[in-house]
Chain A
Amino acid sequence: MNAPLKKLSELAGVVFDGKRTGYVPPKQLTISRKLRLHQASKKTIDPVTFEVVRHALWNVNEEHGATIQRLSGSPVAMYALDLNPSILTADAEFVYFGPYMQYMSGVTDTQVKWTLENRSDNPGIADGDMFLANDPWVGAAHQMDVMLLCPVFWQGELFCWVTNCLHQYDIGGITPGSFCPSARDAFDEGILIPPIKIVEKNEIRRDIEELYLRASRKPPAVALDFRAQLAGNTTARDRILSLVKRYGADTVKGVMKKIIDDGERAFLKKLARLPDGVWRDRTYVECCRPGDRGVHRVWLTLRKVGKKMVFENEGTDPQAGGINATYSGWRGAIMVALNELMCWEQYYAVGGALRHVEFNPTPGTLNCADFPASVSTAPVQCMEISLYPAYNVLSKMLYPDPELRRDAMCIGGTSQWPATIFRGIDQWGERYGYLLVDPIGGAIGAFSHADGISTGGQARTPICKLPNVEHTEQSFPVLFLYRKEITDSGGAGKFRGGLSAESCFIPHGTDRITHDTLSSGNAIPTSTGMMGGYPGAVNRYRFLRNSDIQERMTASNLVGDIDELKGTPETLQLRQQDFSQCPSDVYAVLWTAAGGFGDPLERDPAKVEADVANADVSEKAALEIYGVVLGDARGT
């Protein structure tokens, strides 16, 4: 029998260097004396200058993200906005997360700190350099989230960092698209890159670039994305240096420090209003490998005592199969909820709050997995399942304060992503591989004072887009039959969770699509409600083989639901591989909806009547869950 796993704080003699275990930066970084850090900063800055410069810094990130979108040719960047830039201090405290995919910032500080510790001597960190990195044991959600780290220098000193992260189309591994549901370990997955200097003195190093692209099935796409990231960093760096030239280095640095210090003060004020306590959540992940019918437990504990918060995952099941995430992934995920619920008014400046937050997971568990665990699926399963319980524990911590409870939010939709990984020959005769991005439509969880937002996106990505159906049809050989919100999907409650939606499509312009599924949260709801509220709908795949869709279309007979069609239903399993969809086969994918808040019996009956009129809630659910008899106040 294996020895019980121990928490990080209990382990002695283990080096957390990003090789076998995740990299855990020490309190004091070891940086080569060759690298001088800019230290001077103004302590007193007039309020107008402060506001101008801090908003300019926020806009640097927005422009950074927009630059990447404009240059990238990938639907991932253009339509799904699967990217995020960040600004960090010279020693890698967060100044600002960008407003896109939040967890991509959450994993960045460990990459930058590791670079400072391991690259400042050899090969060195100099003006005009950029480092490429995607190693999840150093700092990444999974291999496809590739980062480009850019040191910003001023008069020979390292002033700050600008970084970006962009999901790449394909960087190798046993499955096209690099999500590898049947991976045995990381050696079956995409290339692993600890930070490596790919730009030197503002020139791309061709040898390093060619090594990077050699791993990909789509090297031109990855090369273009790399250049988009390079341009993003260059733009951000130039904007910061413009601010430095205009206001002075000491002033801009002073603004950065004040952003962090103000964030810290605001965070501590909130903590002081709250009782000390411990808040816990337990959830489940299904199916760690093809054929697995097991369920794997995930725990999250938050302990708040005075000015300190500690997150732990003790009790989580051991790492297994292909469902794992690393230390940086778990930590980065929790940071997202912390930022959104407690630092939103600071413009997502979580750096100050992090001075009072400790992350103490148990290495060897499925969301703090040791190398070489399979992690390619982390953002659609294990990181999501690490993030979403954080909304519950933080919301419950905030609830005792009458003002702060307005920031409580139930778990949102797409708390597990029902991945539809498809590939084949497209309408132009070219090979392709892709992941249906529609589940980014998500849903927003109910609040303590209001309903959630139907298809309001994923809570973890403030700026996100649901790709237009036409854009997906343009890029891939599919034809959508419908995409619609689903009645009763939102979790019931005094305040109802947002509804999710279902996308339904057939092959078009090709004779076959080859699919894999990759999902969890199909049997057990993962968007749990809170304080009496019910969970949102589960993920659901519906597949109808040999349907009459072609005959219906020939007769100009539009389909409103897969249930209207004749055919042979097939139950798709959660990691089913290499199954084909022909033009008469219909595939519908529903993603998880959002959790509800409070006892449904406390919901205003007039709101329930409106829900039914709007087809958000069925008459059956109105009666059985909400206890409302429509049109009959006495009967209600």
Chain B
Amino acid sequence: MFHATENLGVYPGMRYGCAKCALDLGPLSHNYKEYCIRNVLPIEASNPIVGDPKRFIDPLPQFRQFCCPGCGLAIENEIALADDPLVRDVEILSRPD
């Protein structure tokens, strides 16, 4: 296994998995976030200083957390407008040498 990120591993067979419990998180050709538990929270949950966004903007931002379905480890977070698609933040194409 090599680490794609702190909590996302790349396992034999070129598949993503949790770096802690090794639960499969899909093939490299997919967005691993689709295989995670998704926790969608209001933006105010992202930091205690963040207040009501409606004071300044009309669109609704969210704080999205992507956690391992096996052990609950937070793999990644995302800040997004409600209608925006998931970011495919990591797309590994090959193993490191």
Seen from chain A, the residues whose Cβ lies within 8 Å of a Cβ on chain B are 272-284, 286-287, 293-295, 297, 305, 392, 396, 399-401, 405, 448, 486, 488-489, 491-492, 494, 522-525, 528-538, 540, 571, 573-574, 590, 593, 597-602, 618, 620-621
State the Cβ distance, B14 to closest chain A Cβ, in Å.
11
B49 touches A294 (CB 8 A): no
- The distance in angstroms between the C-alpha atoms of A525 and B48, with both chains bound, is 11
CB-CB under 8 A from B51, the residues of chain A are: 538, 540
A281 touches B89 (CB 8 A): yes
Residue B81 CB within 8 A of the other chain: yes
A274 touches B96 (CB 8 A): yes
State the Cβ distance, B90 to closest chain A Cβ, in Å.
6
B6 touches A597 (CB 8 A): yes
Seen from chain B, the residues whose Cβ lies within 8 Å of a Cβ on chain A are 2-8, 10, 43, 46-51, 53, 55-59, 61, 72-77, 79-81, 84, 87-97
CB-CB under 8 A from B5, the residues of chain A are: 396, 399, 530-531
CB-CB under 8 A from A486, the residues of chain B are: 49
- The distance in angstroms between the C-alpha atoms of A540 and B61, with both chains bound, is 17
A272, A275, A522, A599: the one contacting B74 at CB < 8 Å is A599
Closest residue to B65 on the A side, CB-wise? A532
- The distance in angstroms between the C-alpha atoms of A305 and B74, with both chains bound, is 29
A618 touches B43 (CB 8 A): no
A–B complex contacts, Cβ < 8 Å, 28 sampled: A275-B2, A275-B10, A275-B93, A276-B93, A276-B94, A279-B91, A283-B79, A284-B61, A287-B57, A295-B59, A396-B5, A396-B90, A486-B49, A524-B79, A525-B46, A531-B6, A531-B75, A532-B76, A532-B77, A535-B46, A535-B47, A535-B77, A538-B49, A538-B50, A538-B51, A590-B49, A598-B6, A599-B74
B47 touches A598 (CB 8 A): no
A537 touches B93 (CB 8 A): no
The 8 A-B residue pairs with the shortest CB-CB distance, nearest first, are A532-B74, A537-B49, A523-B53, A599-B74, A531-B6, A278-B91, A276-B93, A488-B48
- The distance in angstroms between the C-alpha atoms of A448 and B75, with both chains bound, is 14
- The distance in angstroms between the C-alpha atoms of A211 and B85, with both chains bound, is 50
A279 touches B50 (CB 8 A): no
CB-CB under 8 A from B2, the residues of chain A are: 275, 400
Closest residue to B58 on the A side, CB-wise? A293
State the Cβ distance, B75 to closest chain A Cβ, in Å.
6
A400 touches B4 (CB 8 A): yes
- The distance in angstroms between the C-alpha atoms of A286 and B57, with both chains bound, is 7
Given contacts A522-B56, A534-B47, 7 further A-B contacts (CB under 8 A): A273-B96, A276-B93, A280-B89, A486-B49, A492-B47, A525-B50, A537-B47
- The distance in angstroms between the C-alpha atoms of A597 and B5, with both chains bound, is 11
Closest residue to A520 on the B side, CB-wise? B56
State the Cβ distance, B39 to closest chain A Cβ, in Å.
12
Specify which of A282, A494, A528 lies most central, judged by the most chain B CB atoms within 10 Å of its CB: A282
B75 touches A532 (CB 8 A): yes
CB-CB under 8 A from A620, the residues of chain B are: 48
CB-CB under 8 A from A618, the residues of chain B are: 48
